[in-house]
Amino acid sequence: MIETILNKDIELIIEYSFKNKENLRNSLIHPSSYKDKKNKPINHLYEFERLEFLGDKILGLSIASLIFYKFNDFNEGALTKKLSYLVQRNFLYKIALELKLDNFLRYSRKRENNIMNKSILADSVESLIGSIFVDGGYNSAFKFIKKFWSPYLNLQESNEQDPKTKLQEISQQKFKKLPEYKLIKKTGQSHSPVFTVSLKVLKMKVVKASGRSIREAQKEAAKKILDLISGK
């Protein structure tokens, strides 16, 4: 009964009614919610990730189509930059909050690891898109994406330089040496790994940062060093 009510609630939010409610259910059960994975059927355990994979591809195609026809004066580079901005993890997390997916998604919340929680919620947006595609086809998925992404198509992407690139240039100019990144550890489950790296720039304080990928962790570490350099 409660699950039926929740299904109706999220269907009202996303403005799509599932023909097969199992498709919706599969998109809202993250593998981290299973305490005993050994006793779960493999096909059911990994259905979220399969839908996420599918949703990622559909989202990319749909956004590419939307911006291609909307921005006639954009060259390939500008279109690529706009696409990257609209499908990045931080943006997907923003959409997840707008859809209130945290109220519907079943996953193991990590109080001490907000990075992992944000990443899982971002993944759930792609899983939801995949489930809409499976249930109603591309047109239904595209309609959903168009509705929730269209208000943001005109947003200006940040022109700030990538933190790693910026730090590398500063380090070479000031210290004549490249930053030194080192992977310290990898934690979390195989479906939601968290990487922690350290970063050293000459005699400056060594900083540590975490992320869902090594690149993301390095980026966060570079931000910390840049803040130290600028005196923030």
Question: Which residues are known to be catalytic?
Answer: 56, 126
Q: What's the gap between Cα 35 and its chain centre?
A: 24
Helix residue spans in the chain (DSSP H): 2-14, 21-27, 42-45, 47-70, 76-87, 89-98, 114-136, 138-149, 163-175, 214-230
d(CA 193, CA 187): 6
Reduced to 3 states (helix: H, G, I; strand: E, B; else coil), residue 199 is strand
The radius of gyration of the chain from alpha carbons, rounded to an integer in Å, stands at 20
Q: How far apart are CA 139 and CA 218, in angstroms?
A: 38
Report angle CA 70, 71, 74 to the nearest 5 degrees: 160
